[in-house]
Every structure is written in structure tokens, then in C-alpha cells.
Structure 1
Amino acid sequence: MIEGDLAADPVTQFTLWFADAVAAGLPEPNAVVLATSSAGGRPSARTVLLKGFDQRGFVFYTNYESRKGRDLAENPRACLMFPWHQIRRQVRVEGQVVRLPREDSAAYFHSRPYGSRIGAWASRQSAVVASREELDARYVELADRWPEDPPMPDFWGGFRVIPTEVEFWQGQTDRMHDRLRYRRTAVGWVLERLAP
């Protein structure tokens, strides 16, 4: 992979690589590792699903009271990592994180399957629970309350990672991997090669 092969901006390049991941039949190519850190610097990582991306950034949804939600409230920066091992590629995105407007989150929430919408209410994400039975009972209680169309919880919604750096990694058999990083500057994106 050489610099001249890449698009002028990282979102256009990500669009091309994402299409390659889909075409390769990767299971859940939108699965991405999200890394956050508390205000005190305690790191945490987990897999979430990318639900959209464009020139404004990369979007995912969650419970705002979860550990990731609390981390992002305290320290609104994150790193995303797409591990497309089967095609010897990965993409890293670093940037500022902002909450989506409530109307954007609501539009996505109401497009989700019914069970996922009830689940958003039933699970106090990241909280300790006594048993699976407790979770199941809460789910049934809420499904009885809203048998058709549950409202979106106030504690649930979307985040957008606004990229400041995006790195494209292409694996090579000799371990001399290609690493090309877009870095946002005051005048636009700068493309740099990093040592493997």
C-alpha cells in the first residue's frame, strides 16, 4: 500500500475499506473495539457496533449510564479499532466524542427490533445484578408495560466520534506492515507513513 493509492480524506478511504470487508464476507464488519478512559485515566475497552459514518464521524449507540457512557461524560475522547484480521487489515480512529441530538437517537431507536428496544430499558448496563432471573423478570415487566412501542429512554442514545487521527494498517507477510495515518490539522488532513 502506497500513499498515492489512498483517498484524500480518511472517511472516503474508510468507505472503500469497509466495502472490501463487507465484500469479503467478514462476520459483522461493523464490530469495532471502543476504548475509553475515565477522568482518572482508568482505561476500558469493549466491542460495540458501528451504526453509521460520514464526514462528521463514526456513530454508535449505548446506555449513557453504562461504564462507557460514564467514561465519555468525564473524558470525551475515544479510540475505535476495526480488527479485520481475515483480510489482514485494521483501522484505528481517535477523536473527540459528542452525543447525538436526541431526535437522531430517537430515529435510530425506533428502527430497532422490539426486543432490542425493551432490552434497552431492561438492562441497567454495567450495573451488578443478582441473577439472570432478575434480568428476565425486568424484561417481562417492561414488555407487559409496553406491548407495542416502548419510548426511548432518557438514559440511552448515540455518540459520534469526530476523528482527529485515522490509521490504516495493511499486514505484510514479512512483518513490514504498511501503516498510513491521516492526521487532522488546521488546514486539513495530512497523510503520514508510520514505521511498522
Structure 2
Amino acid sequence: MDDPDVLLTELHTAIRPWLDCPFVLMGYSMGGLIAHALACRLQSSGGPTPERLVVAACGSPDHPARIDPDRMDHAEFTAYVRSLGGTPDAVFEHAELLDMLLPMLRADFRLVRRLREAATAWPGWPRLRCPITALAAQDDEHATPQQVARWADFTQGLLHCTSIPGGHFSLWQQPQLLMDAALGAPGIRSGQAVTG
């Protein structure tokens, strides 16, 4: 799926039955952009909104997309996906599996590009009323701590920012940090940049 409007409509419909209690939206990497767009959709619709948005390993929506998957040939796109480090090497050794996965990954990167374009092109894109907790990895080339800190421009509330050593997938390997962020742990909820 590479159409943000269709995805957001489906997500909004899917979560509607569970919006009768306090909730947090959380997204990792491109999931951060999706969670943000969904929070904006909820806020614009006048319905329940999240207590907080948590984004991890995700630069702010106004950061330009790194690639346009539609302008890359098979070899270029494969090399890019491999460079990200999130796909096991064994996948790249099986042409049939790779041929099945690459179209889905292209759609994911197309969705990222379209979400970022929407955030910068739509002047009515709302700033969220809820606070945002943004988690960054210090050596992440795909979502640098500086790009992650720009989430401050997308909330009327506080931005709580934490960075840890490591690369793009380092945060994924620290589930307790992600859980603390979602639950608003005191060390993350302080409203100040925390390094640890």
C-alpha cells in the first residue's frame, strides 16, 4: 500500500473501537510518520486524540525523503535496502524471495515519500496538541538526532527527546526504552533532552 489517504482511513477505522480510553500512538522509522499522520487525522476529525505520540528512529515529517524508489533500478534499490542493515543477508541470496519483497519495500518507500510531501505541501497540516516523545540513535544516518529533534515543530506541547549510542536499529534492540517512552517514564517525560 502506498497511498497515505487509503492507509490512514483504514487505520482510523480499525482503531476506532479502542478510542474510548487514553491511548498512545507509537511508530518506529516509517511507522513514526504513519503514527504522526494518524494522530493528525484523529485531531482534525475532532475525535479522541492520543495522550502522546512516540516516534523512534524517524526524522520529522519535513525532512525530505532520502530516496525516490521509482527512480532507482533493481540493482540500485537492492543495494540501498541492503545498506540499511535491517534485512538479513540471506534474503539477498535468494532471487525469488527478493523479487517478492522488493515491490513491497518500494511501496513502503513510496509511502514515506508521499507522507513527507503531504507534511510540507499542506499548509493546514495541524500541529499536534499532545506531546511528542522522539527517540534517536546517535549514529543513525537515516534519522539523525538533529532531524529527530525537529519534531518540536509538529507539536503545540512539549518535545521529549532521548538519544542513545548506535545506528538505525539500535532502538529496536532496547524494548524497555521503547516501553518507557510509550508509558511516559520520568526520565523521558522531563521535557529536556536526555542522553543515555
More helix as a share of residues? 2
- Give the structure-2-normalised TM-score: 0.26
More strand as a share of residues? 1
The structure with more radius of gyration = 1
- Give the structure-1-normalised TM-score: 0.26
